[in-house]
Chains A and B, each alone.
Chain A
Amino acid sequence: MNLKHVMIVLKKELKDSFRDKKSVLTNILLPLILIPLMYYFMNMGIKSMTSQAEEDLTIGVISNDINTANEFVKQNIIGEDNINIVNVTQSEVNQKLENGDISCALLFSDDFFEKLNNDENVEVELKYNSLKNSSSLGMQRLNSKIMALNQILATSKLQSMNISPDILNLITPTTNDISKELNDGKTSNDMLTMIIPMYLVIVIVTAGIPLAVDIIAGERERNTFEALFSTKADRLSILVGKYLSILIFSVIAVIMSFIGLILGIVLNPEMFSTAGADMSLTTMLQALNMPIGAMLLILLASITLAAAFAGIQIAISTMAKTVKEAQTYLSYLTFPAMILGFSTMFMGAMDINRYMSFIPVFNTIAAIKMVLSGIIDYYFLTITVVVNVLFIVVVLIFIVNLFKKEKTIIK
């Protein structure tokens, strides 16, 4: 292998790929813009749902004794809330729910008030249309009001019988999360540890695909391989130059995606706060504030994984007969990354066992997740890097042999 030739090929491939507007736009610029934009629209959706849940609600009341029912609903269920009542009949209720004239309807049975006065159990039917978001939200709002009324009625009944209402809550559980104590006082950010590792690994696995297709299958299709192989540069130098260009392109794409992700979170912190997580910049910086050794190992694990996948991308692109075939086969690479990524998504950082560090791809996602949760396990991190390096070695041996074969290079 000639290092000078490696550098010539690398420089040319990078220059060529950065002039490819399509791949620069897709892999480098779009993640920067699209991720914050995606979070912005998701946030807007959440906000719109929240405001819908709080805005004026129109409900229908169905009863034989409509005046009593209206009065009961106004005084005991609605109270001061901004809920309007309209009287509807049984026959028109479904139509009105479908049209959105009412969000939901309360259907009182004929003996409802008589039974209630006699302290008997009574049922009230809450009709709604689950296909309409506003109807589902209205039903939930009304349901919680009826539950609250239940509590008030039970309390007043117990008090009239000289029994303390506390009897309703004999056992009160209190929760105590010890993760902070176990984790040197650091809090874990669930949303952060759920999204970032999986997202980064998917980008690591897929970012180099356009370049791999272009510089291997594309080059063969354009008939430039033959001219290239007739130069003084040996095949190994050409291969390594191309391989490094894919790796560098992937790493740049990963960095841009990471910046896009952080931008998306920082610009839309309410979205994550709604889901119960503190996504302020301070919290994120705290999560990213890890020992330098752990940070380096995480970086190394990510780069080594990208390096292994750059090799896999070259191998697939080399074996494919055409550019189209290469694109199809390489698109399947997303699936294992997604499957392994999803498998860690709902796994707590402390559920991750050390043996998992021996599973390529999974180990990197798990390592990032652990470190972001504040769990620094140098054993796990080191094994992850070692396994990834072995993964690279296997992949490189395979592609070097593939490149030596006449049949795979010259079709």
Chain B
Amino acid sequence: MISLNNVTKKFDDKTATYELNFKINEGEIFGLLGENGAGKTTTLRMLATMLKPTSGNITVCGFDTVKQDSKVRENIGIMFGGETGLYDRLTAKENIEYFGMLYDMDKNKLDEQIKKISKILEMDEYIDKRVANFSKGMKQKVAFARTIIHNPKVLLLDEPTSGLDVTAAVQVHEFIKSCKKDGRTVVFSSHTMSEVEKLCDRVAIIHKGKLIDLDTLDNLRVKYNEENLEKLFTDLIKGGNE
């Protein structure tokens, strides 16, 4: 589904990612784990075609992120940060509609899809109200709806629970799980071990732009002979520093 081949990204003299090589399978929840500044967001932005790799290439759903960026964008939905990035003066429906139209969705199909998602996410009560006065949880739901309105095969979520309270974070987790049930591939970045443990099929540990290891959590535990995931993570990071 997603393939990164020797992907390096440089900003002036700073290397954000260094020769990343890995594949993400269809329908899996894939975690990018690393400290702040490890290169997780840069990797997700490259997957989302917002940044071009300095060298190497990436394919998403068989499309090259540089040469076929529009095709890639058709197949992805993104949600960056805990902040939902909505337009406050538009209603929830208008926010979702705007993005649906920019994905070239047919008006009737778009209306139908909004109704369907609104029902699933229990947004019917406030779908026609302006976003400005929504609670964080309500905004989060609107952002989910906007992310999946065009029925993308791949979801890219950058620290989706950052800044959220427990209830809102649980909603995000439920949303990610439901995406897997729908057969979508989810790539999400996090630095919270418990979140990764709860959701991920496989995890890539990134440190200073380099891939330290990639496997299922069970395999990593066996490989490093360490049950405590947090300790495992910090040990790996230390190793990466040496």
Contacts and interface: CB of A to CB of B under 8 A. Distances in A.
Contact of B50 (A19, A20, A410): A410
Contact of A16 (B73, B76, B81, B87): B87
Given A230-B49, A232-B74, A410-B50, A223 B102 contact: no
Among A5, A12, A15, A230, residue most surrounded by chain B Cβ atoms (within 10 Å): A230
Nearest to B102: A231
Interface string A41-76: 000000000000000000000000000000000000
Nearest to B103: A232
B183 interface: no
B170 interface: no
Chain A contact patch, size range: 20 to 34
Interface in B90-124: 90, 94, 98-99, 101-104
B70 A406 contact: no
B45 to A, nearest CB: 7
Given A223-B81, A407-B11, A230 B73 contact: yes
B202 interface: no
A128 B95 CA distance: 69
B51 A410 contact: yes
A230 B70 contact: no
Given A16-B89, A223-B83, A231 B52 contact: no
A227 B104 contact: no
Contacts of A226: 45, 48, 50, 78, 80, 85
A9 to B, nearest CB: 8
A233 B102 contact: yes
B169 interface: no
B102 A222 contact: no
A229 B80 CA distance: 12
Contact of B87 (A4, A5, A224, A233): A224
A224 B86 contact: yes
Contacts of A222: 83, 85-87
Contacts of B7: none
Nearest to B81: A223
Contacts of B74: 232
A236 B86 CA distance: 21
B50 A406 contact: yes
A404 to B, nearest CB: 10
A407 B80 CA distance: 17
Interface string A195-227: 000000000000000000000000000111011
Contact of B80 (A19, A20, A223): A223
25 contacts: A12-B90, A12-B94, A16-B87, A16-B89, A20-B89, A222-B86, A222-B87, A223-B81, A223-B83, A223-B85, A224-B87, A226-B78, A226-B85, A229-B50, A230-B48, A230-B73, A230-B77, A230-B78, A230-B156, A232-B74, A232-B102, A232-B104, A233-B102, A406-B50, A410-B51
Interface of A: 4-5, 8-9, 12, 15-16, 19-20, 222-224, 226-234, 406-407, 409-410
Closest 8 A/B residue pairs (Cβ): A223-B85, A231-B102, A19-B89, A224-B85, A230-B78, A233-B102, A226-B80, A8-B101
Given A227-B99, A231-B103, A234-B70, 17 more contacts: A8-B98, A9-B102, A16-B89, A222-B85, A222-B87, A223-B80, A223-B81, A223-B83, A223-B85, A226-B50, A227-B78, A227-B80, A228-B102, A229-B48, A229-B49, A230-B156, A406-B51
